Chains A and B, each alone.
Chain A
Amino acid sequence: MKIMVQSAAFELGAEVDAMRRGRSDIGAIASFVGLARDMNDGSDVAAMTLEHYPGMTEKALAALVEEAQSRWTLLDVTLIHRVGRLLPGDPIVLVAVAGSHRGEAFAACEFIMDYLKTRAPFWKKEETPEGERWVEARASDDAAAMRWGKND
C-alpha cells in the first residue's frame, strides 16, 4: 500500500513496476492518471495550483483505499496526488490497483477516483486570461460517487 501527497512528479511505469516487483500472485493491474488540461469551462488555463488540508488529506485518502479494500479483494494499491503549482500536461493524480483478476482491479480503480473527487480535501485554482479562479465542484462528480452506493 502506498499513499502519497507530494509536489514532485510521479512516473506511472515506475509505480507499476514497484507493485509487481518480487511477486507473482498479481494477475491484473488497472491504473488511472489524471492530467492538468490547458482548457476548462471555455477559458485557456496557463497553470493551476492545488491546495489541500494537510493531515485530513492523508486520512481521507487512506479511508478511500480502506473502503475499496472492504468492497473488493485487492493485492495492492498505489495512490499519489500532487499539490502545488502544475502546468498543462502535468500529471495530477495516479491510482494503480493490483488484483488477482481484472474485474476487481478495474472496479476499485474507478471507485477510488470517484470517491476521491468528492471526499478528499483538495482544491484547484486556475490561472486564466481573465485572472485567477477557483474551480467549482461539479454535480457530475457527485453523481459518479453516488452510483457506488452509500457506505456510511
Chain B
Amino acid sequence: MKLRVLYFARLRERLGCAEETLDCAGSTVADLVAQLQARGGMWAEELAADQAYRVAVNQDIVALDAALSENAEVAIFPPVTGG
C-alpha cells in the first residue's frame, strides 16, 4: 500500500530524509520498519530493535503491531524531548 512517511529530529538527520512516499508490501508498522531496515546502512542501524524510536500513524503514537491503511501518514521519530 502507498504510505507517506515522515522522519523527525535526529532520525531525519541520520537518515538524510525528511519525507518520502513509498509502497509498503506489508500491513503493519512492523512490516514497514522491516522494509526500511532492509535498505541497510544507517536505516538498519537507526531502526534496529534495540534503538529507541516512536512511530505515529495518522498522528497518533502506536505500537509496532498496529495496522497500516492506504495513504496513511506514518511518522518515525526519537523519544520526545519538549517542555
> Cβ of B8: which chain A residues have Cβ within 8 Å of it?
51, 53, 121, 123
Interface residues in A, total, Cβ within 8 A: 27
Query: Interface SS of chain A: helix, strand, loop or mixed?
Result: mixed
Report the separation of the CA atoms of residues A50 and B82 in the bound assembly, to the nearest whole angstrom.
8
Which residues 104-144 of A have a CB within 8 angstroms of B? 113, 116-125, 134-137
Taking beta carbons and an 8 Å cutoff, which residues of B are in contact with A? 6, 8-10, 52, 56, 59-61, 75, 77-83
Q: 9 extra interchain contacts, Cβ-Cβ under 8 A, other than A56-B75, A118-B80?
A: A34-B83, A56-B59, A119-B61, A122-B82, A123-B77, A124-B82, A134-B9, A135-B81, A136-B81
A contact set with B: CB distance below 8 Å: 34, 50-53, 55-56, 59-60, 81, 92-93, 113, 116-125, 134-137
